[in-house]
Amino acid sequence: MFHHSSKLQYPVKVDKPNPQFAMLLQQAIGGIEGEIRVAMQYFFQAMGARGDDRIRDMLMSTATEELSHIEMLGHAVALNLEGAPVSYQEETAKDPVMNAILGGANPRHLLSSGLSAMPVNANGVPFDMSHIYATGNVGADMLANVAAEAGGRVLASRLYNWTDDHGMKDFLSFLIARDTYHQQQWLAVIEELGGMQAQLPIPNSTPEDHEAMQHSYYYLNTLLDKEAPKGRWGEGPSLDGKSEYSIVNQPAPEGQEPTLGKAKPNSGAQNEQM
Amino acid sequence: MFHHSSKLQYPVKVDKPNPQFAMLLQQAIGGIEGEIRVAMQYFFQAMGARGDDRIRDMLMSTATEELSHIEMLGHAVALNLEGAPVSYQEETAKDPVMNAILGGANPRHLLSSGLSAMPVNANGVPFDMSHIYATGNVGADMLANVAAEAGGRVLASRLYNWTDDHGMKDFLSFLIARDTYHQQQWLAVIEELGGMQAQLPIPNSTPEDHEAMQHSYYYLNTLLDKEAPKGRWGEGPSLDGKSEYSIVNQPAPEGQEPTLGKAKPNSGAQNEQM
Amino acid sequence: MFHHSSKLQYPVKVDKPNPQFAMLLQQAIGGIEGEIRVAMQYFFQAMGARGDDRIRDMLMSTATEELSHIEMLGHAVALNLEGAPVSYQEETAKDPVMNAILGGANPRHLLSSGLSAMPVNANGVPFDMSHIYATGNVGADMLANVAAEAGGRVLASRLYNWTDDHGMKDFLSFLIARDTYHQQQWLAVIEELGGMQAQLPIPNSTPEDHEAMQHSYYYLNTLLDKEAPKGRWGEGPSLDGKSEYSIVNQPAPEGQEPTLGKAKPNSGAQNEQM
Amino acid sequence: MFHHSSKLQYPVKVDKPNPQFAMLLQQAIGGIEGEIRVAMQYFFQAMGARGDDRIRDMLMSTATEELSHIEMLGHAVALNLEGAPVSYQEETAKDPVMNAILGGANPRHLLSSGLSAMPVNANGVPFDMSHIYATGNVGADMLANVAAEAGGRVLASRLYNWTDDHGMKDFLSFLIARDTYHQQQWLAVIEELGGMQAQLPIPNSTPEDHEAMQHSYYYLNTLLDKEAPKGRWGEGPSLDGKSEYSIVNQPAPEGQEPTLGKAKPNSGAQNEQM
Amino acid sequence: MFHHSSKLQYPVKVDKPNPQFAMLLQQAIGGIEGEIRVAMQYFFQAMGARGDDRIRDMLMSTATEELSHIEMLGHAVALNLEGAPVSYQEETAKDPVMNAILGGANPRHLLSSGLSAMPVNANGVPFDMSHIYATGNVGADMLANVAAEAGGRVLASRLYNWTDDHGMKDFLSFLIARDTYHQQQWLAVIEELGGMQAQLPIPNSTPEDHEAMQHSYYYLNTLLDKEAPKGRWGEGPSLDGKSEYSIVNQPAPEGQEPTLGKAKPNSGAQNEQM
Amino acid sequence: MFHHSSKLQYPVKVDKPNPQFAMLLQQAIGGIEGEIRVAMQYFFQAMGARGDDRIRDMLMSTATEELSHIEMLGHAVALNLEGAPVSYQEETAKDPVMNAILGGANPRHLLSSGLSAMPVNANGVPFDMSHIYATGNVGADMLANVAAEAGGRVLASRLYNWTDDHGMKDFLSFLIARDTYHQQQWLAVIEELGGMQAQLPIPNSTPEDHEAMQHSYYYLNTLLDKEAPKGRWGEGPSLDGKSEYSIVNQPAPEGQEPTLGKAKPNSGAQNEQM
């Protein structure tokens, strides 16, 4: 069951409101790199977590933290929209620089939300829940979480680089820090589970006789006019310790030509196809 | 520039067509764990790859392989739909078992595609390109790719477990094998780049003074009625070698109450809010 | 069956075309507060209306009026795009102010629609039909309609406040007026049905023994650090006349810990979960 | 800031797992009538609430309760999927009745989530955040909330009617009860604000001279072959106390024919249009 | 301005209600081959039609007819859902055959719409307005319309083939007929405009010096292991009468290798990319 | 099976990078008129092509060419983003003109992709695969392809008109040329199949007794206040050579009033509906 405190997890200040930055911040709320995504991803992973209950508890606990991040970002958006013009005749709207800034603002912050945050990204596209990756496989889920937090920290760093507002930089430095930890947190789960070698290939429960293992350890170079790039992926022991890497250049197809024959009567095709 | 051979990468046979399995296979084409996703993800990552050109070449080369996987799966779907009824009066449609199977089939295989594959998942939901994760950051991209291949191999294993068709099992064992390699391929890139410790935290180009590092290495336990789960994430050196993990239980909020005050005149609020 | 007159329901004039306002107007066409939404919502509610045929007739009649509103708004968008530049070298495009305005315009009005309206919102996001609320329950439908018209009038007022074009203000004052009536129209249906007390709780056909009524009349305060806000929702007779309101502060969970146990063999989980 | 208890808000038991009912329950999680919708709607309304802080606190407090409802429903889905077959050869899958049930199940519960809940509706369509209605206008928001809770209680009642599982019926009776209260809660806010008459028309801050009031109080009958249905909407004082209702039958258009003239050179039209 | 008659354009009868066929019919309402699509496509094309006003009138007139088709299909869906069970305990739901049929039904017809039509396709996926093709170019629009009507008639024929209900067959035979005419109607517009040769290439207003015409008339065969298929596309005069067709086999790339160089500082890339 | 060359199909140069034009180019990648759409449409049509294998080969071969077009456009976008500011303090970002341009740029090119292409349109809306039209009917598919290429050439011409960059104009002139050919290519297939007269109405395999042919050849004028526009669509032999066109003005409905009667008990309606 969830509970709430009326205060924010970390202070959120804006020195100089900027409607264009409000629009950029939306990416951290409703973007695929954003906080709704991780909050809901950890929540649904938790609700399907089978096996070690410590991991379910961690998922739910961190999902809860991410909800608090949405709350802070939502407040940051509203503070950046304080003073945004609601009429073309307002002084601010007539100023060429402000007009340029407004050109880059989200018009729905004016029209739809009444100067507050929305569950959309920086293009105004609503977040959709197909981005919640929760497989029921702890290895796949942990990797998806590290990847999500990596994307999140890239985004927070770009936002930090863009703004020159001290309040916003302070707030973003907190989000950057938490993303640092969360990357490590999910990798630490993998370490607990025996590390990458024990977990690979994911799922590690697939019996070897379900796999055409002669195709499991070569790099396939489909480039016609270049040799395969040389590197760790083409030589040395495989990362799961089970085989050696090799390279296959310019592979010939092994399969058949995929002809389907004639269309079935009454299937709605043209007569010429039957 | 792309080229094509008229044969499939690997043979695709179906011993006994099954329209319900055709519907399940769609998840491997148009699902978030599917082949359109990885093909397009590697393609767009390649087009934005800055730095080491070997990595761009690998991304484009493997994108090309994944296109060949879509092609095989599309053929597998069509073969599973051979013989599916197009009329309620057909013998097969009257059979209770077949009727039950049809209940679980994708009706649009009959209505929309004329008994062939579609770019949709097992629920018939079209794939959308918001699932292409390409950040321009090689660390984040590689992790997203490992995660995608982990999800893909989980899916291929579940499809393998479900079907009892020998042709389909043979084909799926090939996909399982390639997903094994692709997981390792992207992890091998990380190893080339110095391994996880050198790459963490992602992005590793964020200066330390952009980060509130006092918040970077603790596990935050938001569960009110339980201690934090004990494990690697709460003790020992951090995975980037820069600090030690710790735990914060039942955190108090550090921020302010997020009050917004009154609504602006002419902003479309109710009078009572102004 | 539908019919059409070749003239608009109300005159639509634009004194000074403004491509940025064309983009804002799109919210009233293809936004969730827009006219496609209400037209289609009333249409689908009408097609599923069981019971009093007068209500079905009203739904269809007003759906028809809303189609005429889309038509007027579409014309308003086209008129605001008259004279918009189609080339970077045009005089207007070189002007800094025009350039700023273009920055805030919808690029697809140039690229995709050839300077006319599209079924998208002010962010260029296409309307999707999941926003059509039609439950087959007349109480729920009427409330959804009042809510839709309330959102619509908020939007029309914000558009009115933004523009300084006399033609557009005149046109928007007509839309504001019709939204006033439509709010009242759907509330008047509720009054006909005996008023809110008779309709509540919706659906009023749910037998009382399907409801855990000890949980039906208290306000649950999940805030940990604040008492529940005092107000009508926590004291006095309930609005359906069946009970008294009360307040529960800082509730303790009544349910169990949701442990799932081990994963099933062959379900695609990691070995560690089984 | 959010917190979490490890136990559920209310006990969730399933007497006899049913994968088809798991699929139906998804509508209450990820459908437009579902709990993700109301949780996020109240959350985003709270983050944009200007004016009376009690209302912001209520929105956040109830958003928090709705998160707990998602949690319970997610557990209910997982419990209904216990024992679902993961292979065509399993005993359960061979049974014709079970096969029929599976025909009506969500295939992605098997393929994608590993037998647990997903943020999708009963068709497997992911929830998208465009359904979060938060206008910054307290009247519009409260009506949207009552409408959402009305839809939610209709859905919970239909689920209750469908199932014959005692555990599920008990759980659903709790959800039905809370939806009863939440309908009343948001209507009680309107009562606090002076009742419907004071709040109408929404927004009540629109000045009267922004409105073409001669069009504000008549029912427009666009049906060609029927008189307007008689009722409260066409006679008597208006619900905002400002006017009298009337009826306009078979209205003639008042506007012009919407001719656009010729296409602009270089606008990509055909020569014949220029 | 739109108007409505209270009767349907053509009689709609259902001899034996079938909830599975209700689900299939949804494709003709909310599918990409369906009536919402053509109604809205012609409507938006009309609102942007520049040039000959007869074409705008036709577009609006036929849009109006398509709205009447939605209305008939909506009624057909509701009639097919009459008698569908709303409880698992009902006699019909216990019958294995009925259960199988229900497996193939749309669960939201029960849960969300209360046994009536929805603006969704046969998978339950809501229609979205990105499918409205309206370019402002009359040639492109007419072709898009012919293509849409071709898809529509394919669908109607498949539905006709599937059902054995006499009422439904009669109704579908009407839709098939109208789709026949509408294909011809839009092609007749092209004939009026001088026929395909005059209209090609679309847009015909693009000056020849904007086009690298040496690339305009050859078939490019990207298949590595097959000659180009021989046919009209590779020989003879081009359809616009301006050139001769030819064939290019196994083309070599003419462009450069698309290297991007190093990433920009502060762009959020990894250090290794800079 | 697919293969790749490391060079582009045609040279792509940008004389002066322009982040706003990068945003416009996205329409040609991820818009409904764009290259992802045609690449995937031809690919899925090929995988379902029954009948003449030459057509399947053409579809796959041209799908492959379109993939190469995505590759070029992706490089063009990245080149236009070279030098775009990543910080508000950069010189370029302070310049009012640049600021205006940035107002019209896609913020996610900065935040999400790190200055490279994305699979989205000019509004930043991701492409979704519902736009892949592949019916299994060769006539319907060819028409859909001509329509798609018509839209594509309209778009390429508008982009050509907008830009004044010589490199971009040269590149776009190549795309315009290929779109010219592809329009003709798919029309040439129809000519091979006997021409439009033989193919109409699509599907031409629908038996005449499935069609209410008395409704197949008249233009229905639903405009109340205007005669039907005169033209080829209302007189002369039909384009399939089977009948004569005629006109029906102001049609009266032929069907019944669509009354549904009372709601079923336990269906979740209000009591007043039962």
For residues E177 and E229, state if they share a domain.
no
Q: Give the integer Cα–Cα distance in Å for D199 and F199.
A: 61
Inter-chain CB proximity E64 and C40 less than 8 Å: no
With respect to residue B155, please indicate whether it lies within any of the assigned structural domains: yes
Distance, in Å, from the CA atom of D18 to the CA atom of C190, rounded to the nearest integer, reads: 38
Residue in chain C lying closest to B153 (CA):
C268
Q: Which residues contact C63 (CB under 8 A, 6 or more apart)?
A: C38, C39, C40, C41, C42, C43, C46, E4
d(CA D70, CA A46): 12
Asked if the structure places residue B139 within a domain, the reply is yes
Closest-CA distance, E76 to chain F, in angstroms, reads 9
The C-alpha of A154 sits at a distance from chain B's nearest C-alpha, in angstroms, of 6
pLDDT of residue A81: 95
Q: Touching check for A221 and chain B: CB below 8 Å? A: yes
CB contact under 8 A, F122 and C124: yes
Query: Could you give the ipTM of this predicted complex?
Result: 0.95
User: What's residue B90's pLDDT?
Assistant: 74
Q: Assess whether F180 and F231 both reside in one domain.
A: no
Task: Give yes or no: residues E103 and E54 share one domain.
Answer: yes
Task: Compute the nearest-CA separation of B214 from chain E (Å).
Answer: 22
Query: Into how many domains does chain A fold?
Result: 2
Neighbouring subunits of A (3+ Cβ pairs under 8 A): B, C, D, E, F
The maximal CA–CA distance of chain C, rounded, in angstroms, is 73
Q: Residue B239: what pLDDT? A: 94
What mean pLDDT is reported for chain D?
94
Residue A161 Cα distances to A11, A115, A165, E12, angstroms: 20, 24, 10, 63
Residues F78 and F154 in one domain: yes
Model pLDDT, residue B95: 65
- Pair A191, A220 in one domain: no
Which chain C positions have a beta carbon within 8 Å of D163's beta carbon?
A: none
Hey, what are F150's tokens? 């018509």
Say whether pLDDT at D188 is over 70: yes
F255: contact with C, CB 8 A cutoff:
yes
Q: Is D205 on the interface with A (CB under 8 A)?
A: no
Residues B125, B219, single domain; the answer is no
Those residues whose C-beta lies under 8 Å from the C-beta of residue C60, and which sit 6 or more positions away, are C42, C43, C46, D223, E4, E6
Does the beta carbon of B169 lie under 8 angstroms from any beta carbon of chain F?
Answer: no
In a domain, C147, yes or no: yes
Residue D100: the pLDDT is 59
* B99 DSSP 8-state letter: H
Residue in C100, C112, C139 closest to F100 by CB: C100
D123 belongs to a structural domain: yes
B6, two tokens: 């008229």
Q: According to the model, what pLDDT value does residue A44 have? A: 98
Question: What's the Rg (C-alpha) of chain F?
Answer: 25
Return the closest-CA partner of residue B213 out of B234, B231, B193, B238: B238
The closest of C62, C33, C2 to C188, measured between CA atoms, is C62
Query: Is residue B101's pLDDT more than 60?
Result: no
Question: What is the DSSP pairing of strand D218-221 with strand B246-249?
Answer: unpaired
In this structure, what DSSP letter does residue A232 have?
A: G
Nearest chain C residue to A113 by CA distance is C155
For residue D105, the domain's CATH number is 1.20.1260.10
Alpha carbon distances (Å) from B201 to A39, B238, D22, F94 = 20, 10, 40, 31
Pairing relation of β-strands C2-4 and C246-249? unpaired
CA distance B173 to A211: 4
Are C269 and A50 an interchain contact pair (Cβ–Cβ within 8 Å)?
Answer: yes
Q: Which of A1, A44, A119 sits opposite D44 (nearest CB)?
A: A119
Measure the CA angle with vertex B114, ends B68 and F53; round to 5°.
55
Tokens 């509408």, residue located: E182
Closest CA of chain A from E153, distance in Å? 9
pLDDT digits (tens, 9 = 90+) for B104-118: 789 999 999 999 999
The upper half-sphere exposure of residue B84, i.e. CA atoms within 13 Å in the direction of its Cβ, equals: 32
List the alpha helices (DSSP H) in F89-242: 91-94, 96-103, 107-111, 138-162, 166-192, 195-199
- Partner-chain residue, chosen from B154, B157, B268, that has the shortest CB–CB distance to C158: B268
pLDDT at residue F95, as a whole number? 64
Q: Which of B202, B213, F84, E263 is nearest to A156 (CA)?
A: B202
pLDDT of B92 > 70? The answer is no
Query: What is the rounded distance in angstroms from the CA atom of residue F20 to the CA atom of residue A37?
Result: 29
CB half-sphere exposure, D77, CA atoms < 13 A: 34
Question: Which tokens sit at A171?
Answer: 């707030």
Residue pointed to by tokens 């073969």: B79
Residue A93 pairs in a beta bridge with none
Let me know whether C226 and C161 are in one domain.
no
Q: From the list D43, D112, D128, which residue is nearest A129 (CB)?
A: D128
Q: Using the beta-carbon criterion (under 8 Å), do E3 and F230 form an inter-chain contact?
A: no
Partners of residue A161 in chain E, C-beta under 8 Å: 266, 268
Interface contact C137, partner D, CB < 8 A: yes
Is C123 in the D-facing interface, judged by CB distances under 8 Å?
Answer: no
Domain that residue C222 falls in: 208-249
Separation in Å, CA of B57 to nearest CA in chain D: 31
CA gap E202, D269 in Å, rounded: 9
> For residue A155, which of E18, B161, F107 has the smallest C-alpha distance?
F107
Q: Does F209 touch chain C (CB under 8 A)?
A: no
Q: Which of A3, A115, A138 to mutate to test the interface with D (most CBs of D within 10 A)?
A: A3
How far does CA F241 lie from the centroid of its chain? 30
- Residue pLDDT, tens place only, E3-35: 999 999 999 999 999 999 999 999 999 999 999
> Are C90 and C185 within one domain?
yes
Condensed to tens digits (0 to 9), the pLDDT of residues B206-257 reads 999 999 999 999 999 999 999 999 999 999 999 999 999 999 998 999 999 9
Residues 6+ apart with CB under 8 A from C65: C9, C178, D220, D222, E2
E131 has pLDDT over 70: yes
Distance in angstroms (rounded) separating the CA atoms of residues A70 and A119 = 10
Residue D264 lies in a domain: no
Which positions of chain F have pLDDT values less than 70? 89, 91-102
Interval A164-176 mean pLDDT = 97
Q: Assess contact for A178 and A65: CB atoms under 8 A.
A: yes
Contact D132 A117 (CB under 8 A): no
Task: Tell me if B75 and F1 make a contact (CB, 8 A cut-off).
Answer: no
In chain E, what residues touch D271 (CB-CB under 8 Å)? 204-205
Q: How confident is the model at residue A198 (pLDDT cuts 50, 70, 90)?
A: very high
Q: Which amino acid is at C245?
A: Y
Residue B10 near residue B70, CB atoms below 8 Å: no
The pLDDT value given to residue D86: 82
* CB proximity list for C13: less than 8 A, separation 6 or greater: C79, C166, C167, C170, C171
Instruction: Please report which confidence band the pLDDT of residue D102 belongs to, taking 50, 70 and 90 as the band edges.
Output: low
3-class DSSP assignment, residue C28: helix
Q: Are C121 and A108 in contact (CB under 8 A)?
A: yes
Classify residue E274: in a domain, yes or no.
Answer: no
The pLDDT value recorded for residue B87 is 81
The reply to whether B196 touches chain A by the CB within 8 Å rule is yes
Q: What phi, psi does B241 have (nearest 5°)?
A: 75, 15
Q: Which of F97, F104, F122 sits opposite C102 (nearest CB)?
A: F104
List the subunits that have 3+ CB pairs under 8 angstroms with E. A, B, C, D, F
Task: Please report residues of C whose CB lies closer than 8 A to that of F154.
Answer: 114
Alpha helix stretches (DSSP H) within chain A: 19-30, 35-47, 53-81, 91-94, 96-103, 107-111, 138-162, 166-192, 195-199
Tens of pLDDT, residues E205-249: 999 999 999 999 999 999 999 999 999 999 999 999 999 999 999
Decide the pairing of beta strands D2-4 and A2-4: antiparallel
- Contacts of residue C76, defined as CB under 8 A and 6 or more positions apart, other chains included, come to C12, C14, C22, C25, C168, C171
C-alpha span between C255 and C217 (Å, rounded):
20
Peptide bond between residue D11 and the one before it cis (omega within 30 degrees of 0): no
Lowest mean pLDDT across A95-99, A129-133, A216-220, E203-207: A95-99
Helix (H) or strand (E) holding B139: helix B138-162
| pLDDT at residue number B39 | 98
pLDDT in tens, E169-199: 999 999 999 999 999 999 999 999 999 999 9
Among C267, F1, F128, which Cα is nearest to B37's? F128
- Quote the minimal CA–CA distance from B53 to chain C in Å: 34
pLDDT in tens, chain C (274 residues): 999 999 999 999 999 999 999 999 999 999 999 999 999 999 999 999 999 999 999 999 999 999 999 999 999 999 999 988 888 767 666 665 566 556 778 999 999 999 999 999 999 999 999 999 999 999 999 999 999 999 999 999 999 999 999 999 999 999 999 999 999 999 999 999 999 999 999 999 999 999 999 999 999 999 999 999 999 999 999 999 999 999 999 899 999 999 999 999 999 999 999 9
Contact assignment for B226 to D96 by CB distance below 8 Å: no
Are residue A89 and residue A220 in the same domain, yes or no?
A: no
User: Are D57 and C12 an interchain contact pair (Cβ–Cβ within 8 Å)?
Assistant: no
Task: Determine if residue F218 is left, alpha or beta; phi over 0 gives left, psi from -120 to 50 gives alpha, anything else beta.
Answer: beta
Give yes or no: residues E100 and E154 share one domain: yes
The answer to whether residue F33 sits within a structural domain is yes
Dmax over CA atoms of chain F, in Å, equals 73
Instruction: Sort out which chain C residues have CB atoms less than 8 A from F155's CB and list them.
Output: 111-112
Segment 234-253 of chain E within 8 Å of chain B by CB: 250-251, 253
Q: Identify whether the C-beta of residue B110 lies closer than 8 Å to the C-beta of residue B86.
A: yes
Cα B204 to Cα B239: distance, rounded to the nearest angstrom? 13
Same domain, E33 and E99: yes
CA gap C8, F108 in Å, rounded = 40
Does the pLDDT value for residue D217 go beyond 70? yes
Chains within contact range of chain B (3+ C-beta pairs < 8 Å): A, C, D, E, F
Burial class, F214, CB count within 10 angstroms (exposed 0-12 / middle 13-18 / buried 19+) = exposed
Contact F8, F71 (CB under 8 A): yes
pLDDT of residue D226: 93
Query: Which residues in chain A touch residue B220, judged by CB atoms under 8 angstroms apart?
Result: 61-62, 65, 178
If asked whether residues A37 and A153 sit together in one domain, one would say yes
CB-based contact, E56 to chain A, within 8 Å: no
Do the domain assignments include residue C269?
no
Contact of E134 with chain C, judged by CB distance below 8 Å, is answered with: yes
- Neighbouring C-beta atoms of residue D97, cutoff 10 Å: 13
| Per-residue pLDDT tens digits for B28-59 | 999 999 999 999 999 999 999 999 999 999 99
Q: Are C137 and E138 contacting, i.e. CB atoms less than 8 angstroms apart? A: no
Q: Do F181 and E218 touch (CB under 8 A)?
A: yes
